[in-house]
Structure 1
Amino acid sequence: MTMSKTRSEGSLPVVSLPLPVDVTAPAVARQAVRATLASLGFDDLAADDVLLATSELVTNAFEHGEKPDKLEVEYADGRLTLRVFDSGTNRPRLKEPSPMAARSRGLQLVHALSEDWGHELCAGGKYVWAVFSLHRTEAAG
């Protein structure tokens, strides 16, 4: 899979990556986001929350029968936005997980780690997005 810069919005172009429709999608997405953050000059510590949220968003798209289609990453004005597209129209819901449940914490994590998150319907399905405040150092660009 190769990333492509699809359009300019704000200060840096959107990076778009088609995702595989199998269990490798979260790992492929994490690798792409890690490379994008490194190219923007962010260190691993700044990337940790974004990478965990990436895994959760892609896993949710995969596990809920609405296979992930595409990942977009955009950085502008100190805000990084992730978008995970899938072909489903079921709206994601923030559930209160049971202490005994082994699952159902993905969106809770995204909610806790991101500045904001939500979803939008679009042609062919929907996308779930999450926004993070990340500020680059002067040395990084």
Structure 2
Amino acid sequence: MRGTHRTDSPAAPRELRRALPCRPADARRTVQRAVAECCRDCAVRCDDDALDDVLLVTSELTTNAILHGGGITGFDVDVDSGGVSVSVSDRSDEVPVVRAPVDERGRNRLGGRGWPIVCLLARDVNVAGLPRGGKRITAVVPLA
């Protein structure tokens, strides 16, 4: 069984529609609620450490969409026995890149650690361009 929470699709059934999260904390609450519902209703095993990983990935994806992507334009979370799939869309066509932690002068850079964290914690990461511009990043994090 699968739990799905879509926030950017007007065709989604009423019970699955959610307000588009405008802050990482809103997105984390949506993910936490979706995982709790699925673990309760779908008999999916939910590991607390894995949930922490999903919430961190959610924070990083939404923060990056706000800081570098012109804002969050879509957000979905799917939960099934394979894990949690978090998708965040934004206005930018730019694909995230890993930056060196130090600049050319050897000074530590601020930021730049979110994308490597997402890539480390997620089993699968997909970046797809959107037909009307922008991109959608989907990360799948195992629950066990």
Matched, 1:19 2:28: no
**Number of paired residues?**
121
Aligned mates of 2:48, 2:74 — CA distance in 1: 23
Cα deviation per residue 1:96-140 (whole Å; 9 max; x = unaligned)? Answer: 3227222100001101111121300123321011111225xxxxx
| Counterparts of residues 41-60 of structure 1 (less than 5 Å) | 41=39, 42-60=46-64
- Determine if contact 2:38/2:80 at 8 Å carries over to the other structure: no
Identity %: 32
Q: Relative to structure 1, is the Cα distance of residues 27 and 112 closer, same or farther in structure 2, using a 3 angstrom cutoff? A: same
Cα shift at 1:14: 2.6
Aligned mates of 1:118, 1:92 — CA distance in 2: 11
Give the RMSD, CA atoms, in angstroms.
1.8
Cα shift at 1:65: 4.2
Aligned mates of 2:100, 2:4 — CA distance in 1: 33
Alignment match, 1:8: none
Alignment match, 1:122: 130
Cα shift at 1:79: 3.0
| Counterparts of residues 1-141 of structure 1 (less than 5 Å) | 11-17=1-7, 18-20=20-22, 25-41=23-39, 42-98=46-102, 100-124=108-132, 125-135=134-144
After TM superposition, the score normalised by the length of structure 2 is 0.74
Mark the runs of 5 or more structure 2 residues left unpaired by the alignment: 8-19, 40-45
Alignment match, 2:14: none
Question: Whose Rg is larger?
Answer: 2
Aligned mates of 1:105, 1:46 — CA distance in 2: 19
After TM superposition, the score normalised by the length of structure 1 is 0.76
Mark the runs of 5 or more structure 1 residues left unpaired by the alignment: 1-10, 136-141
Q: Which has the higher strand share?
A: 1
Cα shift at 1:95: 2.4
Query: Which 4+ runs in 1 deviate beyond 3 A?
Result: none
